[in-house]
Amino acid sequence: MTTQKEVTIYDIAEALDLSPATVSRGLKDHPAIRKDTRKRIVEKARELGYQHNSFASNLRRNKTNTIGVIVPRLNSYFMSTVIAGMEKVANAGGYNLIISQSMESVDKEVANVKTLFNSRVDGFLVSLAYDTEDLSHFDMVLDKNIPLIFFDRVFEHPKCISIVIDNFKAAYEVTTHLISQGCKRIVHISANLKRNVYTDRLRGYKAALLDHNIPYDEKLVFFNNLSDQAGIEVSEAILKMEQRPDGIFSSNDACAVSCIRQLKLAGLKVPTDIAVAGFNNDPLSKVIEPNLTTVNYPGQEMGELAASTLIRRLDRLEGANLNTMVLRHDLIVRESSLKKG
């Protein structure tokens, strides 16, 4: 059973006694082709089982119709909804996605950029790894003017578009909410400040404290990788504090959930003894008891927006001067932070 030969435009041309050029044009609504000729071409193509060969096309046009995606990890609810959104838009626009994970490491991120660059993707959609310091590994991409869009974990760059939510405002809202519930000593669990999402949330936290005349105490701010384990460690630290905090604002849900579990094990009551809020609206937040107050933001839409913005640029329609796009978010209040009513 050998692989039968492919049907090419030459076969169609021969069958119809036309030139390959005409067939090529006929196959994609070129204006200089008679309607009935086009119809004959399309029909014959179908009849012969013609399948467009994108390598040949790519080679000639120097375009792959492929988008390279780099994310820290796929295995969060948020990220998978982002990808779902990208996929939807990309498919509709005739693009394929090549997705790779940096596993939160710059080194892997650098390798991924190289791989995708060598695969000649037409554009990049990137959410940065935990410890990426600068954008030098994207130089080869930017030097060739390949469009690069950051989402969620972004990095300011004159040539790149950023798609984010207002992390400052969201964090401000969360903190204000905790304060409104009577919290006076609020722990904030943050992560690498190289990442906008964490600096902005920290800023929002500080601003809210300031606006409510609560002194900022740096001993209440923890920096870690927001993992389950980190949550356990923070909880232990909290339990050892002389003056016990009465609120926790974690930069993600996984860590918040881990804190709740650990604090409950130690006999504390959430939210009575200590109120807790997270970030991301992960499905976990609805399973933990008490259900977790958190910030929801639209992964699917962020993915769709990132992909459609990139595709518009690729198709030369627009986008040269665009800089930042900000999506809406919502504070979702659940029992974990409700000390009153």
Partner DNA sequence: ATAAAAAATGCAACCGATTGCAAAAAATAT
Partner DNA sequence: ATATTTTTTGCAATCGGTTGCATTTTTTAT
Residues that bind its own copies (CB under 8 A): 1, 3-4, 6, 51-56, 58-59, 62, 64, 66, 73-77, 80-81, 83-84, 87, 91, 96-101, 103, 111, 115, 117-120, 144-145, 254, 257, 261, 283-284, 287-289
Minimum gap (Å) between residue 193 Cβ and its own copies: 26
* 316 contributes a contact to DNA by CB under 7 A: no
Residue with the two structure tokens 């990137």: 126
Minimum gap (Å) between residue 275 Cβ and its own copies: 18
Residue 193 CB: number of other CB atoms within 10 A? 10
| Residue closer to its own copies, measured from CB, 42 or 214 | 42
Give the DSSP letter string of 136-167: GGGHHHHHTT--EEEESS----TT-EEEEE-H
Pick from 39, 52, 219, 286: which binds DNA (CB under 7 A)?
52
| Residue closer to DNA, measured from CB, 21 or 241 | 21
* 144 contributes a contact to DNA by CB under 7 A: no
Burial of residue 90 (CB within 10 Å: 0-12, 13-18, 19+) is buried
In 162-189, which positions are buried (b, 16+ CB within 10 angstroms) versus exposed (e)? bbbbbbbbbbbbbbbbbbebebebbbbb
**CA separation for the pair 124, 314 (Å, rounded):** 11
**CA separation for the pair 228, 217 (Å, rounded):** 24
Tokens of 234: 């923070």
| Residue closer to its own copies, measured from CB, 37 or 105 | 105
Minimum gap (Å) between residue 77 Cβ and its own copies: 6
In this structure, is the dihedral angle defined by the CA atoms of residues 268, 270, 271 and 276, taken in order, positive or negative? positive
What is the footprint of DNA within residues 9-48 (CB under 7 A)? Answer: 9-10, 13, 17-22, 24-28, 31-34, 37
Pick from 2, 3, 4, 62: which binds DNA (CB under 7 A)?
62
Binding site for DNA (CB under 7 A): 5-6, 8-10, 13, 17-22, 24-28, 31-34, 37, 50, 52-53, 56-57, 59-62
